[in-house]
Structure 1
Amino acid sequence: MERLYLMVRIAGELVAIDANEVGSVVEIDAVTPVPRVAPHIAGLFALRSRVLTVIDSCAALGLRATGVQTTPEAVVVQIDGHSYALLVEAVEDVESAGAPMPCVATLERGWARVAVGRLATERGDILLIDPARLVLGPDEQAAA
């Protein structure tokens, strides 16, 4: 059975997020920094009278932080009743694909933590990621 997936770029890689987990795609214009938070949390962002925690996806993978100025697009997700904006380099498209298959490639540590499978698409195999694992960040995931 075909499902819809949002294709985004994170750290230069094309990855997929299940469209059922996506609330919206927004442009981030101003992020308010928050002191003493984990390094993968870029700050807070107001969207239609809601406050969202902004997650630097690259930093959450244990890679270099991208910074909000270079990454104005974000994918809004709800996890355990909280709203998060996941910074992405680009939102590419929405595509349909079948059920995810197991990953057969060896992934870098950060990608391995967030991967839930791979999708066979017209573009080739695309890594399917779990936004909830991305929100946890590298330190919390290692402890879980």
Structure 2
Amino acid sequence: MENLYLIAAIAGQPVAISASLVDSVVDLGPIAPVPLSPPHVAGLAALRSKVLTVICCECSLGLTQTPSLTRRAVVVDIDGHHYGLLVGSIEDARVIDEAPQPIRARLEPGWARVALGMLEYDGESLLLIDPERIVAGSDEALAA
């Protein structure tokens, strides 16, 4: 179903991720830091007897990381590797029949890098984001 989206929040911003890109939503246990990794790589965690690379979405966007009581992650598969995207909260999965619209507002550079468009659902604007761009991190992280 190509019109199904996972609705989450990153740094308080409601976002949508195409459900076709989402493997699962999990609560992570301990995250082991990875020395010399880019700042947006929070570390590694165990998930179903596999190693999961954990990505701090706020850090990837160049935002100040806010402390979170939960370790809720959206698990995505990119080129055969599993990544856990740390998000503030998960709302639900929703069918949104309207096609994504162009972004008509100026976004901060981190958001502009990951945004694919805007979706409207139940009177709320949702930023459609690309998980692969979150995982890649900022241009500064790529240069490191």
Check whether TM > 0.5: yes
Query: Which residue in the other structure is 1:100 paired with?
Result: 100
For the 8 Å contact 1:133–1:141, the answer to whether it is kept is no
Query: Which residue in the other structure is 2:34 paired with?
Result: 34
3-state SS of paired residue (2:35): coil
Residue 70 of structure 1 deviates from its aligned partner by 3.2
For the 8 Å contact 1:4–1:94, the answer to whether it is kept is yes
After superposition, the Cα gap between the structure-2 partners of 1:78 and 1:7, relative to the gap in structure 1 and judged at 3 Å, is same
For the 8 Å contact 1:31–1:44, the answer to whether it is kept is yes
Query: Which residue in the other structure is 2:78 paired with?
Result: 79
Query: Which residue in the other structure is 1:20 paired with?
Result: 20
3-state SS of paired residue (2:105): coil
Query: Which residue in the other structure is 2:131 paired with?
Result: 131
User: Which aligned segments of 4 or more residues in structure 1 are displaced greater than 6 angstroms?
Assistant: none
Q: CA RMSD in A?
A: 1.8
1:22, 1:2 → 2: CA distance? 12
Is there any run of 5+ residues in structure 2 with no aligned partner, and where? none
Query: Residues 22-45 of structure 1: CA distance to partner in whole angstroms, max 9, x if unpaired?
Result: 000000111011100000000001
For 2:75, the aligned partner's letter is: V
3-state SS of paired residue (1:132): helix
Residue 2 of structure 1 deviates from its aligned partner by 6.7
1:65, 1:139 → 2: CA distance? 18
For the 8 Å contact 2:39–2:141, the answer to whether it is kept is no
1:141, 1:106 → 2: CA distance? 23
For 1:93, the aligned partner's letter is: D
3-state SS of paired residue (1:85): strand
TM-score, structure 1 normalization: 0.91
Residue 80 of structure 1 deviates from its aligned partner by 1.1
TM-score, structure 2 normalization: 0.91
For the 8 Å contact 2:38–2:141, the answer to whether it is kept is no
1:66, 1:48 → 2: CA distance? 27
**Farther-moved stretch of structure 1 (23-32 vs 117-126):** 117-126
State the number of aligned residues: 142
3-state SS of paired residue (2:138): helix
After superposition, the Cα gap between the structure-2 partners of 1:130 and 1:141, relative to the gap in structure 1 and judged at 3 Å, is farther
Residue 138 of structure 1 deviates from its aligned partner by 1.2
